[in-house]
Structure 1
């Protein structure tokens, strides 16, 4: 994938003007990722972002109607990127169990920056997904946003991996619950390992999160 310049397509409902369409838009996205990661979502504002990028606050509102909309955009970009990687990395795997192992690894491993996308730092974006994404879902407007397709990419990732689970065990009753639990659980474990280490068993160099969820899933669906 290195040195390829690929394009992630995002639901137009998520922005007022496509940020990928201009240098300013791309700067808004890339700088907001760095600032949300360093400040936290609550302390991040469009005013601070405008100062950082040397632009009027009003110019940011031409791309996103609120910082919540920006966060949802970032979440969608992330899951679209994960979906692209999932499809790409499992395309030539014919054995369902090997395909599932690859999918679980992709969903639970530490993220590395992808040179295919020049204005997005995937490592920092992954940290935002781990620490901030629940703030996008846990709102009074979640049902309306869901109807508009705001979380379609995340649901598609869960569906793709659920389909692999059912290839291995067509009678398994809880594929979506299992896959969404893997994703959210792995994110919690990454967060705990950095801030509340007594709640996890992560050890440097042992890749315990990937190993734990790979073992958990295979035992759950073949037992």
Structure 2
């Protein structure tokens, strides 16, 4: 999978940024260090001034790439969902059995993130923590409807649609495939958050992984076709 991913450029909606951060060394440093800084101090305390101090660049240079920290967060979360989508596609593309394909998809979408050397300037493990803690702040805003119309969340929605299609392959009569797919994707983030911060209100832990819970949930509500 890594050899296949090495030839792929993750593409983000160009309305989110002024200048593609992938196009320059400074842009890549902005992305890399913003992930680290948000992870360390949280999105609320994160500012372009602090980021500029960290990378040794003027605050104004960051504004050449993004007009706000909200747009930067949208970029980071979009990049994460695109990266996860590629992993999902490559992990399931040659699986013919629909139940096994869905099981594999759930594993990919709910597992603990590991580093991927394909993208040297992005630490996926740290980015995963940022998404777990900050993802909801990218869309819980008054501008969400207009930003949705601009396609800012298209990658996230496309990922959920892929999972929805796999659910339908297993049980075409199930009435709530979109809801189940979005529950798995969002629920995975929530369960990892609970493991880290509210251990007493989840049954998931280092031994009982979120993937175990979600596969139990999914295959207790679906009725797999018998012709696989």
Shorter-chain TM-score above 0.5: yes
Contact 1:130 1:190 in 2 (8 A): yes
**Runs of 4 or more off by more than 6 Å in structure 1?**
none
Deviates further, 191-200 or 45-54: 191-200
The one of 90, 93, 111 aligned to 1:91: 93
Deviation (angstroms), 1:126: 0.7
- Could you say what secondary structure the match of 2:164 adopts? helix
- The within-5 A match list for 1:42-121 is 42-121=44-123
Inter-partner Cα distance in structure 2 for 1:98 and 1:207: 20
- 1:138 maps to 140
Contact 1:14 1:150 in 2 (8 A): yes
User: Please, what is the CA RMSD of the aligned residues?
Assistant: 1.2
- Could you say what secondary structure the match of 1:8 adopts? coil
- Could you say what secondary structure the match of 1:115 adopts? coil
The one of 155, 163, 167 aligned to 1:165: 167
- 1:195 maps to 197
Contact 1:6 1:117 in 2 (8 A): no
Deviation (angstroms), 1:41: 0.1
Structure 1 spans left out of the alignment, 5+ residues = none
Alignment pair present for 1:150 and 2:164: no
Deviation (angstroms), 1:5: 5.3
- 1:21 maps to 23
| Residues 201-221 of structure 1: CA deviation (Å, up to 9, x unaligned) | 2232x2431101011111111
Contact 2:168 2:174 in 1 (8 A): yes
Contact 1:6 1:116 in 2 (8 A): no
Structure 2 spans left out of the alignment, 5+ residues = none
- The within-5 A match list for 1:172-191 is 172-191=174-193
- Could you say what secondary structure the match of 2:222 adopts? helix
Deviation (angstroms), 1:97: 0.5
| Residues 23-69 of structure 1: CA deviation (Å, up to 9, x unaligned) | 00000000000000110000000000000000000000000000000
| Residues 43-99 of structure 1: CA deviation (Å, up to 9, x unaligned) | 000000000000000000000000000000001101111111111111110111011
Alignment pair present for 1:123 and 2:125: yes
Give TM-score, length-normalised by structure 2. Answer: 0.94
- 2:210 maps to 209
Give TM-score, length-normalised by structure 1. Answer: 0.96
- 2:38 maps to 36
Inter-partner Cα distance in structure 1 for 2:217 and 2:204: 16
Contact 1:202 1:209 in 2 (8 A): yes
